[in-house]
Every structure is written in structure tokens, then in C-alpha cells.
Amino acid sequence: MLKKRIIPKFLIRDGRLVKGIEFFGGWREAGNPVSTAKVYDSYGVDEMIFLDIDATLQGRPANGRIIERVSEEVFMPLTVGGGITTLGQIEDLLKSGADKVAINSSAIADPGFITRAASRFGDQCIVVAIDYRSGPDGAKVHTRCGTEPTDLDAVDWALRMEDAHAGEIMMTSIDRDGTMDGYDLDMIASLANRLDKPLIASSGAGTLKHCMDALDAGASAITISSMFLFTDQSPIKVRSYLSTNGCNVRSQHGSRS
Amino acid sequence: MIVIVDYGMGNVRSLSNAFDFLGYDAEISRDPADFASADRIVLPGVGAFGDAIDLIRSLGLEAPLNEQVLQNRKPVLGICLGMQLMAATSHEHGHHSGLGWFDADVVPMVSTPDAKVPQVGWNRLDPVGDGWLFRGLPAKGNDVYFVHSFHMKCRNAADVIATTHHAQTVTAAVARDHIVATQFHPEKSQDNGLQILQNWMERDF
């Protein structure tokens, strides 16, 4: 049976790892991405996601140099996102060692881009990342690294992106980002039932129970960022907690790479 | 030297990185002269069957591959789509003929609410036979990384050396003599995958 996945999410700014709160403030330096990736490899996480958070606003694609160096020593699925607008940029990132790309703003600017990318590189290669904020009118998609609200309903948009041949959908609640207050369980539960593709739940993890709750609610995978970087919870503890509580995760063993 | 066949589909860099990491000399090439001088050949692939076999044929790689693998009996490892290409036929988006090294069909997997297709993620291996390719993997925790919507159905059951379970029994690895292939990605399966690549390299065919 397919295992639930634990995925550290690394935000990159100027070649360094950072982590903030609700996308905009409280930025903290979190180390060198390549050496941090090697540490998480030794913890036996299931995949890694690298998001170049300045790329879209600076009008350039994610920096491939970091993934190139990570892929020389880390042998697990690697996803890269940030500022991707063309098929050529996807090809370059795949050649740099990425297995999947995460696309957010350019899917909103041009939904056909997802279909074209999936038909060229395969659905499995295209992760559509959706950032949203919840309000009185429901959950609304935000674009350009959370800076611009749209009228798109987050659930509708996720389903539309699945139809457009996204391989996986990653839902990030901006309200919860960096707060460590728990995942958006209502969103996960309502969406997981309706999606055929895997749902990656992102933002809000602060305790081991939060992780369990998100997977119980129907997520195929969870990303963890602040909790790994700024608390003493390691992937080993997460995996052991999930496994003890009956969640189907990979059994624990380190890495020799 | 290992030659990783580059026909334009798949993350060949990760494969060459994995062999480099293990201390083997691997080159990425689409030059038949390199297939001839290689000790071993790896046939990778990610994407659609029809596109891939068309590319292999249009690049003139089918005959040189057949020559090295079928006539010269050079050890070959297929990975993911590279494994499926070794089947006689595929039913992915139409009907395609493959390299035909295995008497097998590539058929769609059944999607269920609990086991969605594509299968994306880590799943357990159930080795069949002596398990030489999986030697050294922990009995509990031999998971490897899969990404696929179709799988290979072998007419000769003896060709199957591992299965996995995803709503149905799925062919995870096949071997006949010097022709070996995995549906999963050893180059993306951390320690287990590196061990599998090492086992393949250390096998005398």
C-alpha cells in the first residue's frame, strides 16, 4: 500500500533558506539549502520541495544551481518552484535534477500552461501550488507569492487544475503559514474527497498531532517547514509518531548518502 | 563503463548522479558507438510510451539497442518507462509496439478511491524468486519510489522478480537473464535504490 509522505518545504531567498510568517514578515535565516537537504536526507524524509520565493516578483525562474547541487548527493524526489513561466524553464530545471516543478502564478495567468506542461513532461511532473486566504467570502486564491488576491475560489481552482492535468495539488493556507497552529483541516477534508490526484497539505504544522490530523483528513502528503527548522521535532519523531498511531508511513531508516 | 541511453525523455542526470555516487563511471549518450563500447546499458524514461518509442525509432536507436542486448547479450537495466518499452505491446493512448524483449503487455492500472492512479509515492516490494536484486534491503521497509499509471503484464510469470500492491498486484521488476528492469525509480529511492543499483552492478550475467 502506498505510504503517506512527509515532505520538508524549503523556502529559498538569495541562495539561503529562510522562513517567515504568513508570507510577509518575521523572516528568519534557516541555513544553507544544500547542507540542510543532506541532513533531511539522512533523516529519511520522503521527498523535498524547494521554493524560490523571490523568483516570481523578480520576473525570473527558480535558481537551478541549488537543485543541481542537491541532486548530486540526495537520491529522492525533488520538486522545485518559483517564477516558472515557460516549458523551456521546466526543461532546464528537470535537467538540473528536479523531478517535478511547482507552478502557481503562471497557472493563474494562463491555465492552459498547466495542460501544455503536463502533455510535454507528463502529469506526474507538474505540481500545481495554490496559495489562499480564508475570509467571509470563502477561501480565495492569491497569486504572485501571496501579494495579489484573486476572485478564484480555492476549491474550484484546485478541481480545475486537476482537470488541466496537474499531477498533484499543493494547498497552502497563507493565514496559517509559519504560525504552527495546525493545518487547515476543513480545506483538506473537503478537497481530498473531491480530488482524484494526490493532495499535498502545506502550512500550519506545529505539533506531531497536527501532522496526524492532516493525513487523517485525507492529505496524501504533508509539507513541514517551521516545525522542522525552529522546534526540536525531527522527521524521525514525526514518522515514529505517525507510525505508532496507525498511519501508513515508511519505516524508519537513515540514509547512507 | 555504463551508458545511460538519452533519447530525450527522463531525468537522466539523477541516474548518472546515482552511479557516480556509487563510484561507477556512467555516461549519458545517444551514440550507438557508445552502446557498443559500454559494459552495461541503462534505458531510462519518464513520459508517454508512444512518444518514447517514436523517439527511439526516429533517432535510429532501436537496431543498435537490439544488437547490443539481443545479439551481444550486454546487461541492460530498464527503469520506469524504460522497462515498459521492453514489452511487446502497450495500450497507453492507442496501441504501440515496443522493443519486445519481454513477452508482455503494458496495460492501465485500475484506479480506486484508496489507490489512485497514477501511483505516486513509496510502496513496498514483494520479491519473487531468489531476490538477488533486492539483497541487503531491510525486510521491513524495502519501500521504493513509484510514479506510473500503466504497468507491465508478463505472459511468462517467471519473468517477474518483484511485485507491489496498489489496489491490484502490480509488476514492480522483471528479469530474464541479462535483461533486467524496474517499474520504480531506484535513483529516487534513497538507500534502497542505491543498494538495488549496486546489486545490479555486482551481478554477473
The candidate with the shortest Cα–Cα distance to B61, out of B37, B89, B32, is B32
CA distance A25 to chain B (A): 34
Confidence at residue A22, expressed as pLDDT on a 0 to 100 scale? 84
Q: Which residues of B touch A221 (CB under 8 A)?
A: 121
- The structural domains of chain A, ordered by start, are 5-244 (3.20.20.70)
Which residue bears the cell 478541481?
A159
Confidence at residue A21, expressed as pLDDT on a 0 to 100 scale? 87
Query: Is-cis flag, bond preceding A111, omega within 30?
Result: no
Indicate yes or no: pTM above 0.90. Answer: yes
CA distance B167 to chain A (A): 8
The candidate with the shortest Cα–Cα distance to B14, out of B189, B203, B148, is B189
Report chain B's terminal Cα–Cα distance, integer Å.
Answer: 16
What value of ipTM does the predicted structure carry? 0.89
The candidate with the shortest Cα–Cα distance to A75, out of B82, B16, B80, B18, is B18
Q: What is the mean pLDDT of each run of 10 residues along chain B (205 residues)?
A: 90 92 96 98 90 94 98 98 96 92 95 84 96 94 93 97 96 98 97 97 97
Q: Give the mean pLDDT of A16-33.
A: 87
Confidence at residue A255, expressed as pLDDT on a 0 to 100 scale? 56
Please write the tens of the pLDDT for every residue from A204-243: 999 999 999 999 999 999 999 999 988 999 999 999 999 9
Confidence at residue A252, expressed as pLDDT on a 0 to 100 scale? 67
Task: Quickly state the pLDDT bin for A181 (edges 50, 70, 90).
Answer: very high
pLDDT at A251 over 90: no
Pick from A96, A123, A256: which is nearest to B191 by CB?
Answer: A256
Which residues of chain A are at the B interface, by a Cβ-Cβ cutoff of 8 Å?
1-3, 5, 41, 44, 46, 71-73, 75-77, 94-99, 121-125, 167-168, 196-198, 220-221, 250-257
Beta strand pairing call for A126-135 and A100-103: parallel
- The structural domains of chain B, ordered by start, are 2-202 (3.40.50.880)
pLDDT at A257 over 60: no
CA distance B75 to chain A (A): 23
Q: Give the mean pLDDT of A40-51.
A: 95
Confidence at residue A256, expressed as pLDDT on a 0 to 100 scale? 57
Strands (E), chain B: 2-5, 26-29, 40-43, 76-79, 87-90, 96-97, 102-108, 119-123, 126-127, 144-148, 150-154, 160-165, 169-176, 179-182
Average of per-residue pLDDT values in chain A = 93
Residue A85 has a CB neighbour count (10 Å cut-off) of 18
Pull the grid cell for residue B170. 502490480
Alpha-carbon gap, residue B71 to A203, rounded angstroms: 55
Confidence at residue A119, expressed as pLDDT on a 0 to 100 scale? 85
Which residues of B are annotated as catalytic? 80, 185, 187
